Amino acid sequence: MAPATVEVTIDRPTAEGLAPCTLRELLVYFLRLGTTGFGGPIALVGYMQRDLVEKRRWISRQDYVEGLALAQLAPGPLAAQLAIYLGWVRGGVTSGGWLRKALRSCS
């Protein structure tokens, strides 16, 4: 008897409609958020959604929601885990690490 296989296709939105941003811009944003953000990790996550997804459109809504779900599963501070993921989405492994350091050093 042959094993059953299931084929799944995930329709990921393309990067169309996203505004370009540099690692420096992300780093400055997270430094500012880490220094002036008030209200704990849940509030910081809300600020990230408002600023990065809705206002600046640097991150797609789909990437943000996936990052938030993964950050909630990972041990450690929620806002820092989400910053790592969002940095990785936009700039790869190196930028994720830099953004983590920026947000953690200020919070």
Mean pLDDT of 63-90: 90
Both structure tokens of 99: 């953004």
CB atoms inside a 10 Å sphere around CB 102? 23
Average pLDDT of the chain is 80
What percent of the chain clears pLDDT 90, i.e. is strictly above it?
Answer: 34
Question: Does the pTM exceed 0.95?
Answer: no
| Contacts of residue 13, Cβ cutoff 8 Å, sequence gap at least 6 | 60, 62
CA angle 98/78/54 to nearest 5° reads 80
Both structure tokens of 17: 């409609």
Closest CA to 90 of 40, 24, 35: 24
- Better-predicted residue by pLDDT, 100 or 70: 70
- Better-predicted residue by pLDDT, 3 or 72: 72
